[in-house]
Structure 1
């Protein structure tokens, strides 16, 4: 059964349409994958993912529309991601600023407390100075000098005593050693004399 040219043309058109539909399905799937993974949507990337030619993507109006819509959605998602990241960064800086402000308030409060305490102590010193006689400072300085001299004298005496103690210990060790040697000699003499007295 032979086919007419009209039938062959219709069959070729149907085959081409079926092939185009299959490629469009692959393009849709590739775009869905790329959107899920937040990959940048370009014609070259879609062509690689869908395993179609760039020419098909440029010439097929449905493919062009699909890419344009996906690119718009992807751009909006990326913009939203950027806004979210900026918001997180801003929140982080805001939190740090609030923490720093709290720390500054605490530090200023501590400084105020320390200044009040210093003022109170200075007032006590002035009050105590009023009760002292006029020559009290001179008397305290004289006593301080005397005490320093006594410390120097005691330190010198201590060193001298330490040196004498060290010498006494060395003499004691020498005498112990000498006594041990004499005991050994005595024992040897006694052993020899005992050997001579034997019948």
Structure 2
């Protein structure tokens, strides 16, 4: 390194360094040490970044393997379920499916009819109870009239 560069970095005059070889050597060795430390620090930072990147890559690789295994398991399960559906469909003829569909429709209509009948009977029951309460009051009034002395 030139004397001018050393003087700039050490923030001293060139004349001082020309006149004091010991100072020039001390500054030069201090600068060399600082450069070595900077180089080591940068190397350590690079190593840390590389280790972090390597760790992330390994984590991503592990997650990818897990995802592939899960996908394979899901595909296998889907295949099994589709096979079961096919087996179940094979047991039913078109005529049986039509018959069951018709029965299901008939049962739904019957449920609707029974629900309507139940609602009608419930309304009649409420009306009968109301009439009974009215009749009870009427009988009580008539009994009171008979029991009351004129």
Match of 1:190 in 2: none
Give the CA deviation at 1:156: 7.0
Matched, 1:70 2:16: no
Number of the residue aligned with 2:55: 95
Mapping 1:1-199, distance limit 5 Å? 42-44=9-11, 54-55=12-13, 57-59=16-18, 60-146=20-106, 149=109
> Between Structure 1 and Structure 2, how many residues are aligned?
115
Match of 2:134 in 1: none
Give 1:141 shift: 3.3
Shift in Å, 1:122 = 1.1
Distance 1:75 1:150 in 2: 94
- For residues 25 and 91 of structure 2, what CA distance do their matches in structure 1 show? 99
TM-score by length of 1: 0.47
How much is the aligned-residue C-alpha RMSD, in angstroms? 3.3
Larger Rg: 1
TM-score, normalised to structure 2's length?
Answer: 0.60
The whole-number CA distance in structure 1 between the counterparts of 2:92 and 2:68 is 36
> 1:43–1:57: 8 Å Cα contact kept in structure 2?
no
Determine helix, strand or coil for the equivalent of 2:24: helix
